[in-house]
Structure 1
Amino acid sequence: MIRTLVVDDDFRVGQIHANYVRRVEGFEVVGRAATVAEALATVRALRPDLLLLDVFLPDGSGLDVLRQLSQDQGEARPDALMITADHDMSSVRAAMKLGAVGYLVKPFGSADLTERLTGYRRLHDRVDALSRTTAADQSDVDALFSAARPPAVPRSPAKGHSAHTLTAIQRAVHTAGTALSAAETAERTGVSRATAQRYLSYLVKEGSVRLELRYGTTGRPEHRYRIAR
C-alpha cells in the first residue's frame, strides 16, 4: 500500500481528498495535516510514501514543506503531488524544481485525482521493479518518465465523436494496467461495444492508443488496446 498524508488547511476539503484517495486501489491515508509545522511533524512521525500537498497553508507554503524535507531527509523524502488553487507559474516551476511528481489545480474531481494516483502507483511499481536491476535500458527510462503522466486527449475530436466519451474511453485504457478488448472497454465506460470499438479505432489513428493482436489457437486474432508510450 502507498501510505499517503493529506495536507490541506481546509478541514472539509482535506476530508474530501482523503476520501478520494481511499477509493483508489493500492493507497491508504495514514494521516492529515493543516499547517507547515504539522505536516513536517507528521512526516517525521509516520514516514508516508506520498504527500497530497496544498501550497497555501496558514503558516507558510507547501513548497516550504518540500524544501525543509529535502534538507532533513534528502533522498528519503516522501514524494509529493501538489493539490492547490495556486496556478501561478512561479509556483509550478518551484514545485517542479523541488521534485513534485504532479501538480493538480483546484477545483478537481475524483476522476482527475484517481488518474494522477494511478499514474503514480504505476511509476512507484516500475521504480520498485527496476531497483532490483543494476542498469536500465532506454525503454525502461522512457516508461519511468511517462508513467505518472495523464493521457493526452486529442483537443478537437473528429466529427461524430463526443469529447466526454473520448476522454472516458482513453481513461479506461490508461488506468487498466493491461490491454483491453473493445468489450472490456465498453463495460468499464458504460457505452456499447460498437461505440467503444469506434472510439478505440480513432485513438489508434491519433497515436494515443496502441493496437495489439492476441493470437489464439484458431480463428481471427483478438484486438486489444493499451495506452501508447
Structure 2
Amino acid sequence: MSDKSVSTLIIDDDPQVAGIHQGFLLAHSGFSVLGVAHTGTEGLEKIEELDPQLVLLDIHLPDINGLQVLQALRQRPGGELRDVFAITADAELSTVRSALAGGVTQYLVKPFSPVEFKRRLDEYLATRQEMARHESTGTPLPQQIIDKFVANVPEVRDRRPVETNLPKGLSHPTLDLVCGYLREHPDDHATIDVAEALGLARVSVRRYLEFLVTEGLASRIARYGSAGRPQHRYRWNS
C-alpha cells in the first residue's frame, strides 16, 4: 500500500456490492480502504472516526439515504470537505440533480463494468495529483483541471434493466456486473471471456448470460469452429 494512496470509505447496504468495490480499490495501487459501512448513520460515524479522503456512497440506504449523508457531510462544523463518488442504480433526474448540488465528484449509475470503474478511478487520481502539483508550486489551476474536478459527472445511463425477482442462485449485484461488461463491450463474447474479465466462475456466468437471453436483453450466437461444434457467444441487445 502506498503512503500516497487515497484513503477511502465505502458506504453501501449490500455487503456483496461493498466487497466488490473494495476488491477494485485494493487492486488499484492509488487507493486504500479504511473501512466499510452498511447504513448512512454508520457511514457518518466512520467518516468522523477514520477521516477518509474519498467516500464511495450508495444512494439507497436502510436508514437515511445517501443524499442526507451527503448533506450531513457538507455541514460538518469545521470538517474538511471529502470527495464523494455516488455509486447507485438510481438514475432519476431529481436524485442526480440533488447529488450534483451536494457536490459529488462522480455519479456512476449501476451497472457499469470494471473497466469503466477503473477508468473513473484513474481520472480522479490523475486530477488529484495535478491539483497537488499546482498546490506545491503555488501556480494557478488551468481551467481544464478545474472543469475535470468540479464538473466531472458522467452521462446518466439507463437504469438497471431487470428489476424483477431473479431465479434462485442469481443476485442483482453480479447481474449488474455481467450487464455492465456486455454493455461496455459491444462485440459478442464467449462465456469464458466474461468470466475471466469479471473474476467469476464460468458456470455462474453462463447462468446469468442465459437469463439475460430469456429476458431479451442479450442474444446468443452460435459460432462454428474447425471441429464443427458450435460455441455459444453472447452480445448485449442495444
- TM-score band by shorter chain is 0.5 to 0.7
Q: Does 1:67 align with 2:90?
A: no
Q: How far does residue 149 in structure 1 lie from its aligned partner after superposition?
A: 4.5
Tell me which residue corresponds to 1:32. Answer: 36
Tell me which residue corresponds to 2:148. Answer: 146
Shift of the 124–60 alpha-carbon distance from structure 1 to 2, 3 Å rule, reads same
Q: Does 1:88 align with 2:89?
A: no
Report the secondary structure of 1:103's partner residue: strand
Instruction: Indicate if the aligned counterparts of 2:10 and 2:22 stay in contact, CA closer than 8 A.
Output: yes
Equivalent residues, number: 154
Answer 1 or 2: which has greater helix percent.
1
Q: Does 1:124 align with 2:102?
A: no
Report the secondary structure of 2:76's partner residue: helix
Instruction: Indicate if the aligned counterparts of 2:22 and 2:33 stay in contact, CA closer than 8 A.
Output: yes
Distance 1:119 1:73 in 2: 30
Q: Does 1:19 align with 2:23?
A: yes
Q: Which runs of 4+ in 1 moved over 6 A?
A: none
Shift of the 104–35 alpha-carbon distance from structure 1 to 2, 3 Å rule, reads same
| Candidates 60, 65, 76, aligned match of 2:80 | 76
TM-score by length of 2: 0.59
Instruction: Indicate if the aligned counterparts of 2:106 and 2:154 stay in contact, CA closer than 8 A.
Output: no
Report the secondary structure of 1:142's partner residue: helix
Instruction: Indicate if the aligned counterparts of 2:87 and 2:109 stay in contact, CA closer than 8 A.
Output: yes
Report the secondary structure of 1:44's partner residue: helix
Tell me which residue corresponds to 2:112. Answer: 108
Instruction: Indicate if the aligned counterparts of 1:7 and 1:51 stay in contact, CA closer than 8 A.
Output: yes
Letter in 1 for 2:132: D
Unaligned regions of 5+ residues in structure 1, if any? 153-162, 166-229
Tell me which residue corresponds to 1:207. Answer: none
Identity value in percent: 36
Q: How far does residue 113 in structure 1 lie from its aligned partner after superposition?
A: 1.1
Shift of the 146–57 alpha-carbon distance from structure 1 to 2, 3 Å rule, reads same
Instruction: Indicate if the aligned counterparts of 1:40 and 1:69 stay in contact, CA closer than 8 A.
Output: yes
Q: How far does residue 143 in structure 1 lie from its aligned partner after superposition?
A: 2.5
Letter in 1 for 2:75: Q
Q: Does 1:44 align with 2:48?
A: yes
Tell me which residue corresponds to 1:217. Answer: none
Letter in 2 for 1:5: L
Between 1:54-63 and 1:20-29, the stretch displaced more is 20-29
Q: Does 1:6 align with 2:15?
A: no
Instruction: Indicate if the aligned counterparts of 1:116 and 1:150 stay in contact, CA closer than 8 A.
Output: no
Report the secondary structure of 1:59's partner residue: coil
Unaligned regions of 5+ residues in structure 2, if any? 156-183, 187-238
Q: How far does residue 72 in structure 1 lie from its aligned partner after superposition?
A: 0.7
Q: How far does residue 146 in structure 1 lie from its aligned partner after superposition?
A: 2.7
